[in-house]
């Protein structure tokens, strides 16, 4: 039995689950132990809670100073701090890619659309940027067209960034023709792969299509593909390529 | 007499001027020479034109291959390519800071609001990020709160980025309390200071206020302050600090 620590879990409808408040560490540990869990998997994006939204139980109160120390700093810092806290309680943290390797992006393209040489140059520039910016623990995504960076993701998330590119194309701020440009996502260089791996799903494809992009590039083996078949169908329909670059290309 | 190459020039109402289409290099040179201009100053932000919007005259057609080569690549590349082209015609390119040093941001604070130690730590992180990302010729601005990067500017511009931060605060995606966080602007590390220096004006202050930021930090001597007095009044009214960090702090 694996305990899932999950913010917005699509699996919740189908599997036995419990909802807990942020900060109910004691309740989480009690439920996990009662179900015989020894492993924990973190799933989903992190929206940093306000400290006022945390409702700690007794155990939560005891670990509050450590949680606050983890909260200060970037997302990686927060996640690894919370991870260590659970490991000190005897739980073993594993990555989603370890329990379900089939959800990871393979090398090469999904669907029938292929990137052009120009697209590959944009992918290269995007990977370089993400590598250089990675130590700042910012976002994991960037949009590049014609070797020009159009948008950088930070707290707003990938979908909002793609919406911005669509808007800039519509209002003429971005003049690169439709059908050019790529969304590039990559894990941060020092990222603990047990937390918050970049992910793509049909919604990402639709966002890229609305933004008029040629395609999406992610790092093979380090990116979660949600709803694989729907994603491939959406990519072919939107005429968008989906490319898995070999791990190490981002360095 | 100085020729101003200016996209949206507030001075146009007050001074003798001519409007020309993008690409009318021949007309520009003729007008500049007729007025006895030897120096050219580039003013204003660059919105990259679509090549279809360029209406070249005869001279413009002759330099089109060089203009297209300059267009490919980042903004610096485009601006310095256009600059070289004018210099080959015997005009001397000078920076706005050379003809009007009084429009540059001084060291220290404007207005009565002072940054806290926490704000200064956010400023330091923002400058580090801009230095690291500078070689990608992206934007020149970033928003940092609690040592966490909230937003990075690329093609959308500073005002749109501040609007995004205000929106993320309103919809709960950003939980850092109002009155924390800074906007940091800096020239790109390899930037030719004759083009597109970062600038701030009363609108930047209002945007920072709506985004709930504590203040704005820019590099002294490398930032244009538009409408100085209105900016100071706006900063005091919005309770926002305006800090000029010494040049070199961004490295």
- Report pLDDT digits (tens) over B166-202: 999 999 889 888 999 999 999 887 777 777 788 999 9
Any A CB within 8 A of B166 CB: no
| Nearest C-alpha neighbor of B99 from the set B216, B197, B200, B228 | B197
Evaluate if residue A112 carries a pLDDT over 70. Answer: yes
Among B47, B133, B164, beta carbon nearest to A133:
B133
Consecutive H or E run containing B120? helix B117-133
Q: Is B67 helix (H, G, I), strand (E, B) or coil?
A: helix
Take residue A40 and report the two structure tokens written for it: 């924990």
**Phi, psi (5° rounding) for residue B6?**
-140, 130
- The residue that leads in pLDDT, B247 or A242, is A242
Quote the distance between the C-alpha of residue B154 and its chain's center.
12
Among B74, B132, B153, beta carbon nearest to A132:
B132
Among A72, A150, A173, beta carbon nearest to B147:
A72
**Phi, psi (5° rounding) for residue B183?**
-95, 125
* Residues 6+ away with beta carbon under 8 Å from B99: B2, B39, B41
| Nearest C-alpha neighbor of A217 from the set A135, A110, A134, A133 | A110
Query: B49: burial class by Cβ within 10 Å (0-12, 13-18, 19+)?
Result: middle
Per-residue DSSP letter, B48: P
* pLDDT digit string, tens, across residues B136-147: 877 789 999 999
Evaluate if residue A11 carries a pLDDT over 50. Answer: no
Work out the percent of chain A whose per-residue pLDDT is above 90.
Answer: 43
In chain B (251 residues long), the average pLDDT of successive 10-residue segments reads 50 69 83 88 64 71 72 65 82 83 92 97 95 83 94 94 96 90 90 79 96 97 90 97 88 55
Take residue B125 and report the two structure tokens written for it: 């992180």
Most confident range (mean pLDDT) of A176-180, A240-244, B20-24, B177-181 is A240-244
Mark yes or no for CB contact A149/B129 under 8 Å: no
Mark yes or no for CB contact A147/B74 under 8 Å: yes
Give the pLDDT of residue A245: 97
Evaluate if residue A164 carries a pLDDT over 60. Answer: yes
Between A46-50, A101-105, B166-170, the lowest mean confidence (pLDDT) is in: A46-50
| Nearest C-alpha neighbor of B104 from the set B244, B197, B222, B203 | B222
- At residue A8 the predicted structure's pLDDT band, cuts being 50, 70 and 90, is very low
Per-residue DSSP letter, B222: S
Q: How many CA atoms lie within 13 A of B47 on its CB side?
A: 15
Give the pLDDT of residue B11: 47
How many helical (H) and strand (E) elements, i.e. helices and strands, does chain A have? 9, 11
Q: How many CA atoms lie within 13 A of A185 on its CB side?
A: 28
ipTM of the complex: 0.78
- The residue that leads in pLDDT, A56 or B2, is A56
Query: Residue B112 and residue B116: Cα distance in Å, rounded?
Result: 13
Quote the distance between the C-alpha of residue B114 and its chain's center.
24
């Amino acid at each position: 039995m694996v305990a899932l620590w999950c913010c917005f879990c699509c699996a919740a409808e189908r599997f036995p689950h419990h909802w807990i408040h942020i900060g109910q560490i004691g309740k989480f540990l009690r439920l996990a132990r009662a179900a015989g869990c020894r492993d924990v998997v973190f799933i989903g994006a992190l929206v940093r809670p306000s400290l006022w939204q945390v409702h700690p139980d007794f155990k939560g109160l005891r670990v509050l100073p450590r949680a606050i120390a983890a909260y200060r700093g970037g997302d990686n810092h927060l996640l690894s701090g919370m991870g260590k806290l659970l490991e000190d309680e005897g739980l073993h943290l594993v990555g989603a890619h370890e329990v379900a390797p089939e959800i990871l992006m393979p090398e090469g393209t999904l669907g029938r659309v292929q990137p052009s040489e120009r697209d590959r140059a944009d992918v290269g520039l995007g990977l370089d940027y993400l590598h250089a910016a990675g130590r700042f623990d910012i976002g994991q995504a960037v949009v590049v067209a014609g070797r020009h960076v159009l948008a950088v993701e930070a707290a707003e998330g990938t979908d909002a960034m793609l919406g911005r590119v669509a808007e800039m194309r519509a209002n003429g701020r971005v003049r690169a023709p439709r059908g050019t440009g790529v969304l590039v996502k990559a894990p941060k260089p020092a990222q603990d792969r047990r937390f918050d791996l970049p992910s793509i799903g049909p919604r990402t494809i639709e966002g890229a299509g609305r933004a008029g992009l040629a395609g999406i590039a992610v790092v093979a083996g380090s990116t979660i593909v949600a709803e694989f078949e729907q994603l491939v169908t959406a990519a072919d329909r939107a005429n968008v390529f989906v490319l898995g670059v070999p791990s190490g290309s981002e360095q």
